[in-house]
Amino acid sequence: MYDVIIIGNGPAGISAGLYLKRANKNILIVSKMNSALKKAEKIENYYGVESITGDELYNLGIIQAKRLNIPMEEDEVINIGYNESNKKFLVTTVNNEFEASNVILATGTNRMTPKIKGIKDFEGKGVSYCAICDAFFYKNKNVAVIGNGNYAIHEAKILKPIANSVTILTNGKRMVENRDSSDFDIDESNIREFRGNNVIEEVEFENNNKRKIDGVFIAIGTASSVDLAKKIGALVKNNNIVIDENMQTTVKGMYACGDCTGGLLQVNKAVYEGAKAALSIIKNK
Ligand SMILES: Cc1cc2nc3c(=O)[nH]c(=O)nc-3n(C[C@H](O)[C@H](O)[C@H](O)COP(=O)(O)OP(=O)(O)OC[C@H]3O[C@@H](n4cnc5c(N)ncnc54)[C@H](O)[C@@H]3O)c2cc1C
């Protein structure tokens, strides 16, 4: 049981971790190790640092956190729930489950929408980004999940007891090895387009095969902050998590910081917001 679970170990997550740990909070950072920072060839606009590669700056943050003995789990978060009985958040990863009084979302902006003809046109008309939010609308219908990883399987598992059929479409990618993947019909063909009249009706593949579907759930790569926030009912606007002046989302006890809150997508803003989220939690106790 933790005081705070931080999801993400980029500048926002590590910054929050440093403040919380120094305030003696029992914390855990859970993260996949693919911060946007690692893609930056050179950072030359961060205070006091003349020039550094993104990878170097990222590693300095990790080293600093490790020196403070901040526990870090390398894992992928696939769901956040709330246990009403003990008033704790339940963070589900591919390999584990953790409970905490507060959660900080610091997972950057990695939401991926596949560039497939028709997807954008059918958003809200058969295309969904959240199985737990929208599965109910597809009772006894035929649905597909686009993705090839653990997150896609997680979404498919939510849909399975409700929908008539669930097919995972990997769009040309190999499905990851997962103990639950054999429970689903998996089609690895490349997708050409989604079609329909007003609502989505069918998917056509590049091999000219077609499949009738009533809904498509996008679950590519890893669940982003926005995906995770939506699952627990936090407000999201224009693909950014809505926060108040204390970095708290519309769900009490859940905070967000860094790229996932929108605005300036820069290291200095991520570091500031991480610190602010941490200090808000410290102040509330
Ligand atoms: C090419 C490029 C160049 C850039 N150049 C600059 C620059 O010159 N100056 C500057 O200030 N900024 C620059 N940036 C932006 C900067 O990298 C970001 O603003 C910053 O990294 C945001 O920090 P963050 O902590 O919010 O998110 P991130 O650094 O993206 O960290 C998010 C973390 O969350 C983890 N995560 C995501 N989803 C999950 C999940 N479901 N489960 C577990 N973990 C998860 C990721 O693995 C990652 O570790 C650049 C970005 C790019 C891509």
Q: Whose CA is nearest to atom 53 of ligand 1?
A: 36
Question: Using CA atoms, how far apart are residues 171 and 183, in angstroms rounded to an integer?
Answer: 19
DSSP per-residue string spanning 86-155: TTEEEEEESS-EEEEEEEEE---S-------BTTTTTBTTTEES-HHHHGGGGTT-EEEEE-SSHHHHHH
Other residues' Cβ atoms within 10 Å of the Cβ of residue 50: 7
What angle is formed at CA 81 by the lines to CA 79 and CA 82, rounded to 5 degrees? 165
The rounded Å distance from CA 36 to ligand 1 centre is: 3
Pairing of strands 185-187, 191-197: unpaired
**Domain 127-218, CATH homologous superfamily name and number:** FAD/NAD(P)-binding domain (3.50.50.60)
The rounded Å distance from CA 138 to ligand 1 centre is: 34
Q: Whose CA is nearest to atom 39 of ligand 1?
A: 107
**Which one of 127-136, 146-155, 174-183, 195-204 scores highest in mean pLDDT?**
195-204
Reported as a single tens digit per residue, the pLDDT across 220-276 is: 877 777 888 888 889 988 778 999 999 999 999 999 999 999 888 889 999 999 999
Tell whether ligand 1 has an atom less than 6 A from the beta carbon of residue 265: yes
The rounded Å distance from CA 198 to ligand 1 centre is: 37
Question: Using CA atoms, how far apart are residues 269 and 120, in angstroms rounded to an integer?
Answer: 30
Residue type, 12: A
What's the confidence (pLDDT) of residue 36?
Answer: 85
Reported as a single tens digit per residue, the pLDDT across 4-20 is: 999 999 999 999 999 99
Tell whether ligand 1 has an atom less than 6 A from the beta carbon of residue 227: no
Predicted confidence band of residue 110 (pLDDT cuts 50, 70, 90): low
Q: Which residues have C-beta within 8 Å of that of residue 246, sequence separation ≥ 6?
A: 255, 276, 277, 280
Predicted confidence band of residue 164 (pLDDT cuts 50, 70, 90): very high
Reported as a single tens digit per residue, the pLDDT across 113-138 is: 788 999 888 887 899 877 876 888 89
Other residues' Cβ atoms within 10 Å of the Cβ of residue 12: 34
Question: Which regions of the chain carry the CATH code 3.50.50.60?
Answer: 2-110+223-284, 127-218
Question: Using CA atoms, how far apart are residues 275 and 186, in angstroms rounded to an integer?
Answer: 43
Tell whether ligand 1 has an atom less than 6 A from the beta carbon of residue 92: no
Question: Using CA atoms, how far apart are residues 81 and 54, in angstroms rounded to an integer?
Answer: 33
What's the confidence (pLDDT) of residue 76?
Answer: 92
Residue 62 pLDDT exceeds 80: yes
The torsion angles phi and psi of 209, rounded to 5 degrees, stand at -65, 155
**Domain 2-110+223-284, CATH homologous superfamily name and number:** FAD/NAD(P)-binding domain (3.50.50.60)
Which atom of ligand 1 approaches the CA of 37 most closely? 17
Predicted confidence band of residue 48 (pLDDT cuts 50, 70, 90): very high
Q: Which residues have C-beta within 8 Å of that of residue 144, sequence separation ≥ 6?
A: 166, 167, 168, 169, 203, 211, 213, 215, 216, 217
141 vs 113, residue with greater confidence: 141
Tell whether ligand 1 has an atom less than 6 A from the beta carbon of residue 249: no
Reported as a single tens digit per residue, the pLDDT across 80-108 is: 999 888 999 999 999 999 999 999 999 98
pTM score of the predicted model? 0.80
The rounded Å distance from CA 192 to ligand 1 centre is: 31
Question: Which neighbouring-strand residues pair with 191?
Answer: 205
Tell whether ligand 1 has an atom less than 6 A from the beta carbon of residue 221: no
Tell whether ligand 1 has an atom less than 6 A from the beta carbon of residue 275: no
Which atom of ligand 1 approaches the CA of 8 most closely? 34
Out of 259, 260, 261, mutate this one to test ligand 1's pocket (max ligand atoms within 8 Å of CB): namely 259
Which atom of ligand 1 approaches the CA of 46 most closely? 11
How many residues comprise the chain? 285
Tokens of 254: 């859940």
What's the confidence (pLDDT) of residue 252?
Answer: 95
Predicted confidence band of residue 112 (pLDDT cuts 50, 70, 90): low
146 vs 110, residue with greater confidence: 146
Q: What does the mean pLDDT of the chain come to? A: 91
Are 110 and 222 contacting, i.e. CB atoms less than 8 angstroms apart?
yes
Tokens of 214: 């009533």
